[in-house]
Amino acid sequence: MTFCRDEHVWIPESDLEGMSVDTLAVRAGQIRTGQLEHSDAIFPTSSFVYGSAAQAAARFGGEEPGNIYSRFTNPTVQAFEARIAAMEGGEKAVATSSGMAAILSTCMALLKSGDHVVCSRGVFGTTNVLFQKYMAKFGVETSFVSLTDQAQWEREIRPETRMLFIETPSNPLCEVADMAALAALAHANDALFVVDNCFCTPVLQRPLEHGADIIIHSATKYLDGQGRCVGGVVVGPANLMDEVYGFLRSAGPTMSPFNAWVFLKGLETLPIRMRAHCDNALELAQWLEAQPAVAEVFYAGLESHPQHALAREQQSGFGGVLSFRVKGGREEAWAFIDATRMISITANLGDVKTTITHPATTTHGRLSPEDKAQAGITENLVRISVGIEAVEDLKIDLQRGFSALEK
For residue 188, give the DSSP letter.
H
CB of 125 to ligand PLP, least distance (A): 9
Q: In what order do the strands lie in the sheet with 232-236?
A: 92-96, 232-236, 214-218, 192-196, 161-167, 116-120, 141-145
**Nearest in space to 337 (alpha carbons), one of 305, 306, 360:** 360
Does 230 interact with ligand PLP (rule: CB under 6 A)? yes
| Shortest Å, Cβ 138 to ligand PLP | 19
Task: Quote the least distance from Cβ 69 to ligand PLP, whole Å.
Answer: 24
Least Cβ distance, residue 221 to ligand PLP (angstroms): 5
Of residues 88 and 196, the one with the C-beta less far from ligand PLP: 196
Nearer to ligand PLP, 119 or 198 (CB): 198
For position 196 contacting ligand PLP by CB under 6 A, the verdict is yes
Q: Which of residues 98-117 bind ligand PLP (CB under 6 A)?
A: 98-100
Compute CA 311 distance to the chain's CA centroid, rounded to the nearest angstrom.
Answer: 17
Contact between 233 and ligand PLP per CB under 6 A? no
Q: Which amino acid is at 389?
A: E
Residue among 171 and 380 whose Cβ is closer to ligand PLP: 171
Give 171 or 340: the residue with its C-beta nearer to ligand PLP: 171
CB closest to ligand PLP, residue no? 99
Among 122, 172, 232, 359, binds ligand PLP (CB under 6 A): 232
Residue 48 beta carbon to ligand PLP: minimum distance, rounded to whole angstroms? 27
DSSP β-bridge partners for residue 215: 195, 235
DSSP per-residue letters across 80-107? HHHHHHHHHT-SEEEEESSHHHHHHHHH
Contact window for ligand PLP (CB under 6 A) among 121-129, 136-144, 253-261, 269-277 = 121-129
By CB under 6 A, residue 121 contacts ligand PLP? no
Query: What are residue 15's phi and psi, to 5 degrees?
Result: -65, -25
Q: Where are the beta strands (DSSP E) in 183-266?
A: 192-196, 214-218, 232-236
Which contiguous run of DSSP H or E holds residue 5?
helix 5-8
The residue (of 232 and 317) whose beta carbon lies closer to ligand PLP is 232
From residue 144, give the alpha-carbon distance in Å to each of 127, 207, 337, 371: 12, 21, 30, 10
How many residues at the interface with ligand PLP, by CB under 6 A? 15
Is residue 401 near ligand PLP by the rule CB under 6 A?
no
CB 190 within 8 A of CB 211: no
Binds ligand PLP (CB under 6 A): choice among 105, 128, 146, 220: 220
What does the CA dihedral 161, 163, 169, 174 come to, rounded to 10 degrees? -40
| Single residue of 28, 118, 198, 223 touching ligand PLP by CB under 6 A | 198
Q: Does 124 bind ligand PLP (CB under 6 A)?
A: yes
Q: How far apart are CB 115 and ligand PLP at their closest, in Å?
A: 21
Residues 6+ apart with CB under 8 A from 229: 219, 220, 258, 259, 262, 263
Is-contact 162 192, C-beta < 8 A? yes
Q: Does 167 bind ligand PLP (CB under 6 A)?
A: yes
Whole-angstrom Cα Rg for the chain? 22
- In terms of CB distance, is 310 or 349 closer to ligand PLP? 349
Task: With contacts defined by CB under 6 A, name the span among 31-39, 42-50, 96-104, 237-245 that binds ligand PLP.
Answer: 96-104
Q: Which residues pair with 218 in a beta bridge?
A: 232
* Rounded-to-integer distance, Cα 24 and Cα 310, Å: 26
φ, ψ of residue 141 in degrees (nearest 5):
-95, 145
Cβ 30 to ligand PLP, closest distance in Å?
Answer: 24
Query: Measured from the CB of residue 282, what is the shortest distance to ligand PLP in angstroms?
Result: 20
Task: State the nearest-atom distance from the C-beta of 171 to ligand PLP, in Å.
Answer: 6
Site for ligand PLP contains 221 (CB under 6 A): yes
Which CB, 90 or 169, lies closer to ligand PLP? Answer: 169
Task: Check if the beta carbon of residue 351 is closer than 8 Å to that of residue 227.
Answer: yes
Gap between the Cα atoms of 86 and 17, Å rounded: 9
Compute the distance between CA of residue 177 and CA of residue 118 in angstroms, rounded to an integer: 14
Name the residue nearer to ligand PLP (CB basis): 78 or 170: 170
Contacting positions for ligand PLP (CB under 6 A): 98-100, 124, 126-127, 167, 171, 196, 198, 218, 220-221, 230, 232
